[in-house]
Structure 1
Amino acid sequence: MGMEYNKTTEGLEIGQNPSKSFDDDGRPKRTGTLLTASAHIITAVIGSGVLSLAWAIAQLGWAAGPAVLMAFSFITYFTSTLLADSYRCPGPIHGRRNYTYMDVVRSHLGGFKVQLCGLAQYGNLVGVTIGYTITASISMVAVKRSNCFHTHGHDAECKISNYPFMGIFAEIQIILSQIPNFHELSWLSIVAAVMSFAYSSIGFGLSVAKVAGGAHARTTLTGTTVGVDVSAADKVWRSFQAIGDIAFAYAYSTVLIEIQDTLKSPPPESKVMKKASFVGVSTTTVFYMLCGCVGYAAFGNKAPGNFLTGFGFYEPFWLIDFANVCIAVHLLGAYQVFAQPIFGFVENYCSQKWPQNKFITTEHTLNILGYSYSMNMFRLVWRTTYVILTALMAMIFPFFNDFLGLIGAASFYPLTVYFPIEMHIAQAKVPKYSFNWMWLKILSWSCLIVSLIAAVGSIQGLAHDVKKFKPFGSNS
């Protein structure tokens, strides 16, 4: 059934032109473009975090909410341009490529910071994949409940377990995980990006309809009111969590270098990546402002954590169903965007550690219905195991989404701010105590404070959830 070849002995076929088939590093020619990179970014950034932005703005109010959104859009775009410049090693324009975030840090900073980067990046990626399994199952359950209410009436109990849907999500991910690498993920990211636009637009449209229909929700310049909506302590904790939610809703630095490594050259990868970052962040900001601000106008200080659920499970039930299906499909693609760097890291490590092991290195080419598929037994076993483990974690710890806030707080500062700034200072040889050095450091320290504040808010929310924790008790 087809043919076999060894990854470690791949070479050029006789008569093949190296310049046409391979890049300057000997790897197969990259084919990524501004469109595919922008799709990857939008898929990674918009995420289901857009659904909580109405709640976040409700905690901060009209004055601080939009201002914080704009501030983090600028910070994210700025630091992403610094990180994009670090893709090539210091030196000539065509310096050696860095394939992962850890490689970038190793080239520019070195030392223990490489291990710190790996811990922050891969810890965050594992956390996101578990969190997405939970979130996707919640959206699937929402569809089932909506149909139940529509069929049996609004007073029906309609209690539905999340676990079968986590299993369905995992089964689909086992299949999608056999996509060999980031370079072949473009079509899935484009589908996922379209889905994110769809459910964001539905939420925005329903919010506009609610406001136009005469809904007079109470909104204020400072958000939730102490003594009316929340206690003084809750106001502080919720404001901390809201700032953290907004900061992490923009972060995609965990996968930026891996996305950049898919781009064809010329033009220079950093130039295209900066444009893609601008497209991704500006598009995201428009959607965030529309959904967050109009959602706050629709629901006021009582805005729910997921603003799509604020419209109820009832009518228009088919539109809410469609939005939740879009969320689930989007998360299918987003899971892969965040999982591929983990898959690649483990597979590259193992192939370097055991280059003679045929189970790890041999690729089997299968011809099915006229199409050629490359299958590797180690990839099949390892990726399937990973998906099953993330699904089990999601089932055992249904409050993991709150824990994800803590992981986000811990990884946001080093990955999105600290390393890009430090590598820029090292690469550009910015003089110590110069104006540029000072303002870069002030930006870095300010974001550190935001991360610490968000971490405190997440810990408080997590402590509250753990008190009510019942393993395998996740029913909607």
Structure 2
Amino acid sequence: MSTQGPGDHNYNQANSQVDDEALAKKKAIDDWLPITSSRNAKWWYSAFHNVTAMVGAGVLSLPYAMANLGWGPGVVILVLSWVITLYTLWQMVEMHEMVPGRRFDRYHELGQYAFGEKLGLYIVVPQQIIVEVGVCIVYMVTGGKSLKKFHDTVCSSCKDIKLTYFIMIFASCHFVLSHLPNFNSISGVSLAAAVMSLSYSTVGWAASVHRGVQPNVDYGYKAKSTGGAVLNFFTALGDVAFAYAGHNVVLEIQATIPSTPEKPSKGPMWKGVIVAYIVVALCYFPVALIGYWVFGNSVEDNILISLEKPAWVIAMANMFVVVHVIGSYQIYAMPVFDMLETLMVKKLNFKPSTSLRFIVRNLYVAFTMFTGITFPFFGGLLGFFGGFAFAPTTYFLPCIMWLAIYKPKRFSLSWWSNWICIVLGMVLMILSPIGGLRTIIISAKNYRFYS
């Protein structure tokens, strides 16, 4: 029979006290970090957060993508992307709480569970950062361009103002909004953005119908050479991939929904995703198909630029875009803020504070603004980022994690579905950056910095 002396009792008591202090410190940090600080979201929060994340500036480039893909391949790729990304989004929602008593609140946490602590980080974090920072940069450019288009439409006789200044004006609101602490605190901004996305998409296709099919419309490929047509095709694949980009923040959105063993978060989250995907279909398909039908291969890489009249409608649509990308920027910036703030307080042992948050977030907004001002190649950026980063995190990384964790029976329906998505996603990842990089190079030939 073992005996326990007073020394052992004191030692156990001290250990217990240390554990309690560590747990209290961890809880305090989790309550401060943006992703885990608030878990009282409703299912409709999921709906409009997902719409805001998904239906971004990419919808405006879909008619241009159709012009480079052609009718047959274009329709197939649009529909296939909608189906594949809905399937992979369902997988993400299911995997959020696959381990009883544990929630994977961040994309990289799920990656670490699937691939191991270190390898999971190396695989997921770089891709997620490229996607989220890339979207924020592209939205800086989009917001600036839409503000400039609004100004030029409303006041055509006014003095021309550089795009640089409009990007700065757009960035100025983010120096304020970025200090909202977490996802639930930006729900109002996100709701406004979701409504705006449906509004400007409707304006895009309705104004196109009003214009009617243009004289001498041409549905052939835009490029004159075969090589040019092939590379434009690759760029268009990236544009489509960029349009379906909500997966990078889906676990973070689901983390804000309360969960119990009886009522797991996947129920309300999936309901929100279904509503979001119906809205996505209502935005994407009419804009892509009607825009291409009306303008053919002469359509611009932003459908609103092709629609010059009526001026008040175009001005209004551009302001809708501005409001929407304000919300989208915040949705994609929040996980980046979470990563940066986690690094500062957990790894570098900074004290969680308002001043730390103020410095980190302002520096991030300034970085995305400066990069957007320096490289405002809208179409090329969509193609490059769309293929290089969105294809893995949206089209096939969820499938690889599903295979690694659930290990479905070989040659079963689940096994085939995942492998088909992986192969198609790999093809997309390899081909589309080639076209996007070419577009950037062509744009850069005639571009002067900060003009």
TM-score in same-fold range (> 0.5) = yes
Work out whether residues 379 and 439 of structure 2, in 8 Å CA contact, stay in contact via their aligned partners in 1. no
Which whole-Å CA distance do the structure 2 matches of 1:279 and 1:36 have between them?
11
* Aligned residue number for residue 57 of structure 1: 66
Which residue type is aligned with residue 99 of structure 2?
Answer: G
Q: 1:10 to 1:241 in 2, by over 3 A?
A: closer
Q: CA deviation at 1:378?
A: 0.6
* Aligned residue number for residue 379 of structure 1: 357
* Aligned residue number for residue 119 of structure 1: 126
Work out whether residues 61 and 224 of structure 1, in 8 Å CA contact, stay in contact via their aligned partners in 2. yes
Q: CA deviation at 1:218?
A: 2.6
Paired residues for 1:31-180 under 5 Å: 31-88=40-97, 90-92=98-100, 95-110=101-116, 111-149=118-156, 151=157, 159-180=160-181
* Deviation per residue, 1:283-332 (Å, 9 max, x gap): 212211101111112112211111111122xx422221111111111111
Work out whether residues 253 and 415 of structure 1, in 8 Å CA contact, stay in contact via their aligned partners in 2. yes
Gaps of 5+ in 1: 1-6, 13-21, 153-157, 363-375
* Deviation per residue, 1:384-426 (Å, 9 max, x gap): 1111121111222223662453233121232113321122123
Which region of structure 1 is more displaced relative to structure 2, 417-426 or 398-407? 398-407
Q: CA deviation at 1:28?
A: 5.7
Of 217, 221, 224, 1:224 maps to 221
* Aligned residue number for residue 388 of structure 1: 366
> Secondary structure at the residue paired with 1:159?
coil
Aligned length: 420
Which whole-Å CA distance do the structure 1 matches of 2:378 and 2:371 have between them?
8
Work out whether residues 188 and 333 of structure 1, in 8 Å CA contact, stay in contact via their aligned partners in 2. yes
Of 295, 298, 305, 1:299 maps to 295
Say whether residues 1:277 and 2:273 are aligned partners.
yes
* Aligned residue number for residue 18 of structure 2: none
Work out whether residues 56 and 325 of structure 2, in 8 Å CA contact, stay in contact via their aligned partners in 1. yes
Which whole-Å CA distance do the structure 2 matches of 1:353 and 1:401 have between them?
38
Work out whether residues 235 and 384 of structure 2, in 8 Å CA contact, stay in contact via their aligned partners in 1. no
* Deviation per residue, 1:24-65 (Å, 9 max, x gap): xxx666121221111111111111111111111122222222
> Secondary structure at the residue paired with 1:345?
helix
User: RMSD of the alignment, in Å?
Assistant: 2.3
Q: CA deviation at 1:282?
A: 2.6
Work out whether residues 241 and 391 of structure 2, in 8 Å CA contact, stay in contact via their aligned partners in 1. no
Work out whether residues 105 and 114 of structure 1, in 8 Å CA contact, stay in contact via their aligned partners in 2. yes
Which region of structure 1 is more displaced relative to structure 2, 103-112 or 40-49? 103-112
Which residue type is aligned with residue 210 of structure 1?
Answer: R
Q: 1:219 to 1:276 in 2, by over 3 A?
A: farther
Which residue type is aligned with residue 167 of structure 1?
Answer: M
Aligned identity (percent) is: 30
Q: 1:142 to 1:413 in 2, by over 3 A?
A: closer
Which whole-Å CA distance do the structure 2 matches of 1:204 and 1:68 have between them?
20
Pick the structure with more helix per residue.
2
Which whole-Å CA distance do the structure 2 matches of 1:194 and 1:461 have between them?
32
Of 436, 439, 445, 1:458 maps to 436
Which whole-Å CA distance do the structure 2 matches of 1:185 and 1:419 have between them?
28
> Secondary structure at the residue paired with 1:308?
helix
Q: CA deviation at 1:74?
A: 0.3
Paired residues for 1:334-373 under 5 Å: 334-355=328-349, 357=350, 360-362=351-353
> Secondary structure at the residue paired with 1:203?
helix
* Aligned residue number for residue 282 of structure 2: 286
Of 420, 436, 449, 1:442 maps to 420
Q: 1:219 to 1:201 in 2, by over 3 A?
A: same
Which residue type is aligned with residue 126 of structure 2?
Answer: L
> Secondary structure at the residue paired with 1:181?
coil
Q: 1:28 to 1:386 in 2, by over 3 A?
A: closer
Q: CA deviation at 1:277?
A: 2.2
TM-score (norm 1): 0.83
Which whole-Å CA distance do the structure 2 matches of 1:443 and 1:316 have between them?
42
* Deviation per residue, 1:152-203 (Å, 9 max, x gap): 7xxxxx5320122222112110100000011222111100011111111111
Work out whether residues 391 and 426 of structure 2, in 8 Å CA contact, stay in contact via their aligned partners in 1. yes
Which whole-Å CA distance do the structure 1 matches of 2:41 and 2:342 have between them?
21
* Aligned residue number for residue 16 of structure 1: none
Paired residues for 1:232-311 under 5 Å: 232-265=226-259, 267-311=263-307
* Deviation per residue, 1:66-101 (Å, 9 max, x gap): 22111000000001111111212x433xx3111210
TM-score (norm 2): 0.87
Q: CA deviation at 1:209?
A: 0.6
Work out whether residues 64 and 292 of structure 2, in 8 Å CA contact, stay in contact via their aligned partners in 1. yes
Which whole-Å CA distance do the structure 2 matches of 1:192 and 1:434 have between them?
41
Which whole-Å CA distance do the structure 1 matches of 2:27 and 2:424 have between them?
50
Which whole-Å CA distance do the structure 2 matches of 1:107 and 1:274 have between them?
22
Which whole-Å CA distance do the structure 2 matches of 1:413 and 1:385 have between them?
28
* Aligned residue number for residue 414 of structure 1: 392
